[in-house]
Structure 1
Amino acid sequence: MKYIGEHLLPGQLGHFLVVLSLVASLVACIAYFKASNATLLPDHESWRKLARIAFLVNAGSVLATFSILFFVIANHFHEYFYAWNHSDLSLNPKYLLSSIWEGQEGAFLLWTLWQSVLGILLIATAKKWEAPVMTVMSFAQFCLATLIIGVYVFDLKVGSSPFLLTRHQFQDAPIFQGENYLSLPKIHNGNGLNQLLQNYWMVIHPPVLFLGYASTIVPFAYAIAGLWKKDFGGWAKQALPWSLFSGAIFGLGIMMGAAWAYESLTFGGYWAWDPVENASLVPWLVMVAGIHTQVIYNSTGHSLRATNTFFVLSFLLVLYSTYLTRSGDLQDTSVHAFVDSGMNWQMRIWVLIFVIGSLTLLITRYKKIPHIAKEEEFSSREFWMFIGSLVLFLSAMAIIIPTSFPIINKLFGTNLVIGEDKEFPYNRIQIFVAVVIGILTAISQYLKYKNTSRAYFTKKLLWATLISLVASVSISYFGHINYNKYGVGFLAAIHLALFASVYAVIANAGYIFTGLHGKLKSAGASVAHLGFGLLLVGILISSSKKEVLSVNTFNPLNFGPDKPKEGFENLTLFRGIKTDMGAYWATYVKDSTNGKMTWFQVDMERKDGKDKFTLYPDLIKNTKGQEGMSNNPDSRHYLHKDIFSYVNHASSVQEGADTSQFKNHVVKTGDTVFYSEGYMILDSVTVNPHNEKYKFTGKDTALMANLTVITRDQQKLTAKPVFYVRDNAAQYMLDTLYSQGLAIGLTRIADDKHLEISVKESSKLAPFLALKILQFPFINLVWLGTLLMIAGFVMSLVRRVKLL
């Protein structure tokens, strides 16, 4: 059957280019391997020339494949399953790129593209190391190509193609029996992009993070090349700029993810020890450990074995983390893990090949790696740098093991769990890591290589230590750092970590002027350490002083004992009603809907009149993934704090009509009427009430019931419904308690002693929203510290390149 409107050429060309990239990467791998083992120069040059051509063909094919996939998505060619499944016609054009890396195939293609770019740079710069290093790189390209080739070998599917046709994905679906299926709304409109990815951070965060992933293979490849060619340390100086680049770009990618989480996820922060977050952090920590031991080796000859080990493990942990987050094993424990795509067996094979191959080479050659038998001096810089690297490695292990519980449980049938509190098991360990690393980053640069005299060390560091002690104690005391959720022991650890972090900032700032005499070209390490200390200060203050502003003791969305915490931290705002929120007044002004997204305008005003601003959090209707609505927070940024808000629920997005009915109760004075969340008592009856609300006179016929409403949390409210006669017709006025979802009416007079009270319970009596607002003090220190840390990496990178 010939289908109307299909564009088959892009897919056919894409399939061809994927196959070409696979073949070219395999040819490059074999040719580079031959060049590495060639004993004669002409043979080496011949094989290397072929390998270069093959790798450039691979790189060009990957770039063209990526471009075609973007072309297919941007033009909404929904005959391709990938375009249909990850985008739709209503998608904002700036999120079309995000559609590429929402799926597994696009993410692996992005990874391959970055490795292609890095490979080309290595061809230009690796010199004598080109052949062995590029052998590893080309093999990695081949492995990634198999994940997106999408072919069957007998009955075994190898990879998953991003150019699979939608009608092939759903072969038996009746919708594809007609030749004009592309005009049908379900196909024509598209399935859409996950709402959590519709944020500008998700346009730039994944490319940077995947460049970080890809970059870890370069130090790994150099280490493997050194072990393979038995030139164990000859690569270390040349590879240092690459490891610094990897540390910088990987760290930047991780913190971009933290910024995305802060702006798009509703856990109220930038880090929640989510398994996918952990999977990125762990290899970065090991990479940073390797950078420090690499510097040690280049300066003293110590720690070459550790450097090889850390760089090998860093890349292997990237592979393991990739499998962990993309196998589907974490889909129940992480908000942004992938589901099982059917490529698990391939990912397992490639992880095992790299693990078995590299660790076997490392173990068999380990004793042959040169090392200095004499131990480092206790007072030397290299000793404490090594201790710091070891602490970073142990920190990584303390994170990856609990994160791997789902894998461990699957393999061994265990039932290991972290517990209901997902954060504290990590925090109680990492707080002490922060203490150790903070102090070491403060003192290490004041130490000299080989040996340092006590008098020199004390003289140089004394003032920085005293100033740090005074500054940290002042912050703890005057800043009221009294986070006591986990007891006095953890609070003491916070104060100790705060001192260590402030110490890192002041000591490194001091070293730039006293140790380096203001020579910023040589201050990369100090700037990076200063930034890291500032990052820790920001984390400690913003987390321990995080304050819930939307304090509320009752909430119609969270009645009862089931969700007391949520009920306490979510403020119910009724549209147009100015509501007390502690230090602020909050007013839900209006909402507006644009397709799937609903924005809410909430005006905030400090009670002292010093500040007014407006927040615009929104809800997006989920079209894929979890049902219901996704929350996009909004923040008000100040130099010294952020006010962070998100909507948990709103009546305007509730589906269906209000079907609640009035229930009638005949009562007399003193009687009680129960409702689901409390009860009410008829206290008295007023004839012809005349007050601010009602203006009846002695000529009218009106009765007002005076009711006291007792809520579940023992709050006392009043309701005053009215029954009256006008134009010989009985009428009544309801009184509404929006906070309880109650409409109460006095609907008739039963006899001379009894009245009929009608009660309706509904969450749709008035437009409302449930809003949570948090205040993060000094959170900008987190972002400033990140920028300074990355700047320090870049400064060191530039300096090391110049020294080559």
Structure 2
Amino acid sequence: MEYVGEHLLPGQLGHFFAVLSLVASLIATIAFFKANKTADLKDRQSWLKFARMAFLVETISVISIYLFLYHIISNHYHEYFYAWNHSSRALSLQPQYLLASFWEGQEGSFMLWNFWHCVLGWVFILRNKKWEAPVMTVISFAQFCIATMLVGIYIFDVRLGNDPFILLRHQMAGAPIFDNPEYLNLPRIKEGNDLNSLLQNYWMVIHPPILFLGFASTIIPFGFAFGGLVNKDNSWTKPALSWVSFSAAALGTGVMMGAAWAYESLSFGGYWAWDPVENASMVPWLLLVAGLHTNLVYNHTGYSLKSTYFFYILGFVLILYSTFLTRTGILGDTSVHAFTGADMTEQLYLFLTVFIWGAALFASRTKNERMLVTGAAIIITGCYYFHIVFALASCLIAFAFLFYFLNKYIPSIKKEESTYSREFWMFIGALVFFLSAVIITYQTSLPVINRIFNQQHADAEDREFSYNQIQIFIAIIIGVLTAITQYFKYKNTQKSFFYKKVLLPTIIALIVSLSISIFGNIDYDKHGIGFLAAIHIALFASVYAVIANAMYIWVGLKGKMKGAGGSLTHFGFALFLLGVLISSSKKTVLSQNTTGIAVFEKTKDQDPAENITLFKGIRTDMGKYNVTYLRDTANDFDRKKYFEVKFEGKDGKDNFFLYPDVLKNNKGQEGFAPNPAKEHYFWGDVYAYATSWVGSEAVNDTSSFRTVNINKGDSIFYSNGIIVLKEVVVNPEHYKRATLPGETAVMLDMNVTAKDGRQYTVQPGFAINMRDSSFRNLPDTVIAQSLIVRFEKLGEEEKGAMQIGIKETSNLNDLMTLKVYAFPMVWLVWLGVIIMVLGFVLSIIQRTRKIRLTAV
């Protein structure tokens, strides 16, 4: 059958470049490996030249795949399954989200990863000639592995990867709609399946590229370690430092951009919830930082080389493991943003084990050891297809081999370090980071453990506390070590010198932290006095780290920022830690439900007592604020429903508007995805999002106010009863709406009696500001009767002293429930991250200059 309107050429070209990428990356891997193993300089250069040409073809192919797929998505060629499944024509009004459509699917995110490998590869080729061959061998092989995820070809009965250029009619072969040659004109196909509502946020345009840059960059420290093992040369540790700093900066920035996205979009009440996908991204960063510190120790003292190898290898392996977790669907029930869909479990498992076993193989030295490792890898990995338990066994045995060979062949100094040396405490800090990574990995891996051992370990009822009760002690230790370690010298430090240097920052930190604890109302007793005490100790540790690092820069380095990269990074990390502690322990729910109306039942995630119910147009008491749901509007541009909510501080000063919104869920999810709104202050953020809403269609409401003149004691009728004006009151003492400073309120005390005998009090009126003669109308509402009464003006005596307006409208059925938090000092979190990244950048510049000077 010949189909009408299909554009087949872009897909054919895209698939051609996907296959070319696979072939070119394999050739580049072999050529770089041969260049590294060749002793003859002329042959080495010949192999390198050939490898670079292959890598250039690989780079052109990756960029071409990206451009063809983006061309298909942006032009809404929905004859391609990827374009139809991950985008829609409605996104044309917001073209930035077409990029988010690109990496919503697994294939697009793999391509993004490939792209960054290409960029980093060329930068490395230009800057690191000595280590080009071994490191580029690893990068090219990773490119080959990723390329297999994108070709979508069959080898016998096994499909290799998923083709992002597959046609919709091939993906859904046999569907009746494809009997129609003009199926592209069908509304369901023409419009597209849309982008996941959670991803329709500007953070999802910038967060994934930075995060995948961080993911991709971790391969370079791993590549250096590979080169050291293969070439039996440990001089790689000096050029590796700048790359590790870059990787830590990029990955840390990407992770915290994800936290900002969660703060903006996910509405789980903050920027971090120990979600499995968050954890899977953070753990490799912890190991990178641990490796960075042991690397520094080795460069200065000769200690900790084995640990450096171990941390860099394990850090990259855990990147692969995090990919395995998030892309196999195994976290689908425990994470709000894990990839699901195309199952690549076998391929991902294969590549994970290949890299671990490969590291063990190249760490071995003798022929017998290599044969043993190779045989064990083939047998145990192959058994995976009989039972999943061999997946765990394979990885653990590979690590056992690797650790054994590292311990056997990597040289180390036998002399013990002094406890008054910088390297001793840096190594302790690295171990603490490693311990934290192990604990987080275990808790995150419970779904994997359940699947392997057929267990039913449930996720903790209070997930955040299950992590925090352990990580709070990690924070205390890291905070103290961050404060004191730089005051030690390498190899040995005189005790008197050390105590003299740390005395002043210790005293200042004690004073500051005690002031915060005493006067800052840190009274988070939800989990008992023990956890509260740990919070106060952690506050001291973080304050101590902030002050000690600031004083070290000012006094120890005499304010010279050129050499302060490490201290600035520590200062930023300490500031971040302080912000996390204060914003989390002082996070307050402002939206205590004072109306007594519960719109939904209590669940694990939401409590109606912590969600205030707001009726449109009715000012409602919410603690320190009076809150009014003013109106809502649908925006055709971004397809969101916005709510305008007015916050009025009872002190008369703190007044502002928030505009939370909801977007209808798609991709098989029911309900709406809420996006929070925030008001920023120096002391923190007021953070609000809609948890539910019920509304009538305001656009269909054609009712208007009916004007009536009335005197005291008069009665007037409405459709369901009678209204009586009892009296006129000036500045009533008990009135449910507060007047503003300088205002005089005149209220009509009225009684409403419905036909069924129920009675209500309604008090419309007006307020006059005597200072500027401004006038403010104060209507009142009877929700149960769908009735609004407002003061119009003073009437004529013979007709009635008061003129009021009466309106009966279905819009009083409009209500929303709002969750409102206060996040004190949350800006410290973001400022700390920015300063920490600047510190990493400064360290990179500092080390690059040092290498150039050494070369000169």
TM-score by length of 2: 0.82
Cα gap change, 1:489 to 1:741, in 2 (>3 Å)? farther
Residue 512 of structure 1: CA displacement? 0.5
CA distance in 1, matches of 2:662, 2:523: 34
User: AA paired with 1:301?
Assistant: G
User: AA paired with 1:381?
Assistant: R
Residue 556 of structure 1: CA displacement? 3.8
Residue 765 of structure 1: CA displacement? 5.6
Map 1:672-683 → 2, pairs under 5 A: none
Cα gap change, 1:366 to 1:695, in 2 (>3 Å)? same
2:601·2:607 contact (CA, 8 Å) conserved in 1?
A: no
Partner of 2:818: 771
Residue 126 of structure 1: CA displacement? 2.0
Residue 298 of structure 1: CA displacement? 0.8
CA distance in 2, matches of 1:740, 1:406: 52
Partner of 1:31: 31
Partner of 2:734: none
Map 1:207-222 → 2, pairs under 5 A: 207-222=209-224
Question: Deviation string for 1:286-311 (max 9, x for gaps)?
Answer: 11000000011111111000000000
Cα gap change, 1:208 to 1:696, in 2 (>3 Å)? closer
CA distance in 2, matches of 1:134, 1:561: 55
Residue 528 of structure 1: CA displacement? 0.5
Q: Answer yes or no: is 1:437 the counterpart of 2:478.
A: yes
1:555·1:739 contact (CA, 8 Å) conserved in 2?
A: no
Question: Deviation string for 1:152-189 (max 9, x for gaps)?
Answer: 11221110011111111111111111111111111110
Corresponding residue to 1:780 among 812, 827, 830: 827
User: AA paired with 1:191?
Assistant: N
Residue 734 of structure 1: CA displacement? 8.5
CA distance in 2, matches of 1:692, 1:275: 66
Q: Answer yes or no: is 1:572 the counterpart of 2:613.
A: yes
Map 1:463-502 → 2, pairs under 5 A: 463-502=504-543
User: AA paired with 2:623?
Assistant: G
Residue 558 of structure 1: CA displacement? 3.9
Partner of 1:695: 715
User: AA paired with 1:111?
Assistant: W
Partner of 1:607: 650
2:523·2:532 contact (CA, 8 Å) conserved in 1?
A: yes
Cα gap change, 1:38 to 1:455, in 2 (>3 Å)? same
Cα gap change, 1:139 to 1:740, in 2 (>3 Å)? farther
Residue 42 of structure 1: CA displacement? 1.9
User: AA paired with 2:816?
Assistant: L
Secondary structure of the residue that 1:397 maps to in structure 2?
A: helix
Cα gap change, 1:691 to 1:527, in 2 (>3 Å)? farther
CA distance in 2, matches of 1:31, 1:692: 98
Residue 802 of structure 1: CA displacement? 1.2
Map 1:344-363 → 2, pairs under 5 A: 344-360=345-361, 361=363, 362=402, 363=404
CA distance in 2, matches of 1:694, 1:778: 56
Secondary structure of the residue that 2:663 maps to in structure 1?
A: strand
User: AA paired with 2:823?
Assistant: F
Partner of 1:630: 673
Secondary structure of the residue that 1:148 maps to in structure 2?
A: helix
Residue 21 of structure 1: CA displacement? 0.7
1:558·1:566 contact (CA, 8 Å) conserved in 2?
A: no
Question: Deviation string for 1:55-80 (max 9, x for gaps)?
Answer: 11101110111111111111111111
Residue 359 of structure 1: CA displacement? 3.4
CA distance in 2, matches of 1:741, 1:564: 29
1:418·1:425 contact (CA, 8 Å) conserved in 2?
A: no
Residue 691 of structure 1: CA displacement? 10
CA distance in 2, matches of 1:385, 1:588: 54
User: AA paired with 2:521?
Assistant: H
Partner of 2:168: 166
CA distance in 1, matches of 2:631, 2:336: 30
CA distance in 1, matches of 2:713, 2:295: 79
CA distance in 2, matches of 1:351, 1:654: 54
Cα gap change, 1:627 to 1:564, in 2 (>3 Å)? closer
Residue 696 of structure 1: CA displacement? 6.1
Partner of 1:267: 268
Partner of 1:153: 155
Partner of 1:200: 202
Residue 579 of structure 1: CA displacement? 0.9
Q: Answer yes or no: is 1:299 the counterpart of 2:300.
A: yes
Residue 100 of structure 1: CA displacement? 0.8
Question: Deviation string for 1:447-473 (max 9, x for gaps)?
Answer: 000001111111111110000000000
Give unmatched runs, 5+ long, in structure 1.
658-689, 705-718, 725-730, 746-762
User: AA paired with 2:300?
Assistant: S
2:616·2:812 contact (CA, 8 Å) conserved in 1?
A: no
1:720·1:735 contact (CA, 8 Å) conserved in 2?
A: yes
Question: Deviation string for 1:197-245 (max 9, x for gaps)?
Answer: 11111100000000000000000010011011111x2100011100010
Map 1:55-70 → 2, pairs under 5 A: 55-70=55-70
Residue 616 of structure 1: CA displacement? 0.5
Map 1:69-468 → 2, pairs under 5 A: 69-91=69-91, 92-231=94-233, 233-360=234-361, 361=363, 362=402, 363-468=404-509
User: AA paired with 1:605?
Assistant: E
User: AA paired with 1:348?
Assistant: Y
Corresponding residue to 2:694 among 637, 641, 651: 651
Cα gap change, 1:589 to 1:582, in 2 (>3 Å)? same
Partner of 1:760: none
Partner of 2:753: 722
CA distance in 1, matches of 2:458, 2:754: 60
Secondary structure of the residue that 2:166 maps to in structure 1?
A: coil
Question: Deviation string for 1:508-543 (max 9, x for gaps)?
Answer: 000001111111010011111001110011001101
1:553·1:567 contact (CA, 8 Å) conserved in 2?
A: no
Residue 364 of structure 1: CA displacement? 2.4
Q: Which moved more, 1:416-425 or 1:28-37?
A: 416-425
User: AA paired with 2:694?
Assistant: S
1:508·1:529 contact (CA, 8 Å) conserved in 2?
A: yes
Aligned residues: 735
Structural RMSD (CA): 2.7
Residue 39 of structure 1: CA displacement? 2.4
CA distance in 2, matches of 1:127, 1:462: 47
CA distance in 1, matches of 2:781, 2:424: 63
Cα gap change, 1:154 to 1:653, in 2 (>3 Å)? farther
Identical amino acids, percent of aligned pairs? 55
Cα gap change, 1:555 to 1:273, in 2 (>3 Å)? farther
CA distance in 2, matches of 1:795, 1:694: 79
Residue 703 of structure 1: CA displacement? 11
Cα gap change, 1:560 to 1:591, in 2 (>3 Å)? closer
Secondary structure of the residue that 1:102 maps to in structure 2?
A: coil
Q: Which moved more, 1:357-366 or 1:601-610?
A: 357-366
CA distance in 1, matches of 2:485, 2:90: 55
TM-score by length of 1: 0.88
Secondary structure of the residue that 1:264 maps to in structure 2?
A: helix
Cα gap change, 1:492 to 1:349, in 2 (>3 Å)? same
Partner of 1:641: 684
Secondary structure of the residue that 2:130 maps to in structure 1?
A: helix
User: AA paired with 2:651?
Assistant: D
Residue 611 of structure 1: CA displacement? 2.0
Secondary structure of the residue that 1:518 maps to in structure 2?
A: coil
Residue 722 of structure 1: CA displacement? 3.1
Cα gap change, 1:557 to 1:17, in 2 (>3 Å)? farther
Map 1:534-549 → 2, pairs under 5 A: 534-549=575-590
